[in-house]
Every structure is written in C-alpha cells, then in structure tokens.
Structure 1
Amino acid sequence: MKKVSVCFVCLGNICRSPTAEAVMRHLVGQAGLAERIDVDSAGTGDWHLGEAPDERAQRAGQRRGYGLAPLRARQIGADDFERFDLVVAMDDANVTALQNVAPTATRDKIRLLMEFAPQRNERVVTDPYFGGEAGFEAVLDQCEAACTGLLAALRTQFTV
C-alpha cells in the first residue's frame, strides 16, 4: 500500500506548523486515510524544542475541534528530506531556510502551504506570534483551506 508523508514547517514549530499538522491529521482521519498519509511538523529554529504549541494556538484549535496539546516542537533536519515526500513551508523565509538544510536532490519536495488553497489570495501563512487571538483564528482559516486542497492533491497519488 502506497503511503505519503508530509511535514509542515514554520519558524519555531509552536504556532503555524503544529496548527497545520492538527488540521491535516483531522482531515486525513475524517477521510479514512490515516493508514496512508503520515503527518508531522517541525521548525527551522531551535528556540522551542520540546515545548507544546503556543497557548493561543491551542485555544484557537480547541474551539474548532483540533487537539494541539500533545504536539511538541522539534527542529527540521536534513534527514527529514529523506523521510518525507513533501515538506510544506508557511512562508518564504521558511522556504529559504529549508533550502539551506535540504540535500540538493530533495529540494523539489519543498512547497508553500498556500499553494494548495488557490481560492485564497494569500501567498503565505502569516506568523501570529506577536499578535492577538485573531491572528491564530486567521491561521486556522488558512490551514483549513490549504489542507483541504493538499488532501485533494494527495488523494490523486493512490486509490482509496
């Protein structure tokens, strides 16, 4: 059985990427594809290693039925580019950082999350860290739209 693995990446792995991971896990579970799609997240930096997602991200996610509390921050490494089929960045700075970590032959695995939400006009998922609660709700809106598109794209890689 073909499996696909996806890693979402932001700066510290405490706001955007764990939100995307939780949203994608939920969608994959609803679709009955948990045995076929592996989902993880990581950060480009090491500031929050081992920490739970930001409390504001957890609260926003919980209001929509996503459990972020069990997730823990980790830093992306070169070996992740062998492990994952797709490494999905939240913004252009993350793409640049990922290109610096990725082995040359695996750089084609790097994509922006919002590429999978063509109905939205945003290119990147804005970092909500220095803002208020509304920023975390906006991240959820973006992740829900983009992860829905990503799941549709992944479905084409195998038949259910």
Structure 2
Amino acid sequence: MDRSHLAILRQMRPHHSKARLSLMLDHIPARTGQDVIDPYYGPDEGFVTTWEDVEAACAALARTVLGPRP
C-alpha cells in the first residue's frame, strides 16, 4: 500500500516472475505514485479516508482485471 511494502514485495518476487507489482493507488489515474496513508498515529478520521482510498483502488483494480461491468 506504500513504497516500503512495494519494495519488500519486489525483493520477495522470484527472479523469473512475470507478476506486475504496483502501489494500490496506481490504479486510480489521478493518484498514480501516491501511498495509501497509514492512519494509525493520526486522528480517527484518517481511518475513514484510508478506507475510502483502499475501496476506490480495489474497485479500479477489479475493473482493470475483470473489465467494465455490463
């Protein structure tokens, strides 16, 4: 969900893998390159914002993988 997680996944990925790794928010065109904010140390409202970001990214990723809904 953030660059540190992405770096760890890239290190874990087998050398021959064809898997494409990306940040979650890369699937939302206006949010490419942005990290999902960790709300743990901030105000409670941050959890709502993080949830909304993750939900939007998952929907965008699903559209990419599955195609548009009929």
State the TM-score, normalizing by the size of structure 2: 0.77
**Uncovered stretches (5+) of structure 2, i.e. residues with no partner:** none
Q: Structure 1 106/122 Cα, relative in aligned 2: closer, same or farther at 3 Å?
A: closer
In the other structure, the counterpart of 2:24 is 113
Distance in 1 of aligned mates of 2:33 and 2:26? 9
> Is the Cα–Cα contact under 8 Å of residues 99 and 107 in structure 1 kept in the other structure?
no
In the other structure, the counterpart of 1:123 is 34
State the TM-score, normalizing by the size of structure 1: 0.38
Distance in 2 of aligned mates of 1:119 and 1:155? 21
Cα deviation, 1:117-147, whole Å, max 9, x if unaligned, reads 1144661101112222111111111112211
Distance in 2 of aligned mates of 1:104 and 1:121? 25
In the other structure, the counterpart of 1:85 is none
Q: Which has the higher strand share?
A: 1
Q: How many residue pairs align between the two structures?
A: 68
Alignment partner for residue 49 of structure 2, among 138, 147, 151?
138
> Is the Cα–Cα contact under 8 Å of residues 116 and 149 in structure 1 kept in the other structure?
yes
Distance in 2 of aligned mates of 1:108 and 1:121? 19
CA RMSD of aligned residues (A): 2.2
In the other structure, the counterpart of 1:15 is none
Q: Structure 1 150/91 Cα, relative in aligned 2: closer, same or farther at 3 Å?
A: same
Displacement, 1:93? 0.7
Q: Which has the higher helix share?
A: 2
In the other structure, the counterpart of 2:4 is 93
Query: What one-letter code is carried by the residue in structure 1 that aligns with 2:60?
Result: G
Query: What one-letter code is carried by the residue in structure 2 that aligns with 1:141?
Result: E
**Uncovered stretches (5+) of structure 1, i.e. residues with no partner:** 1-89
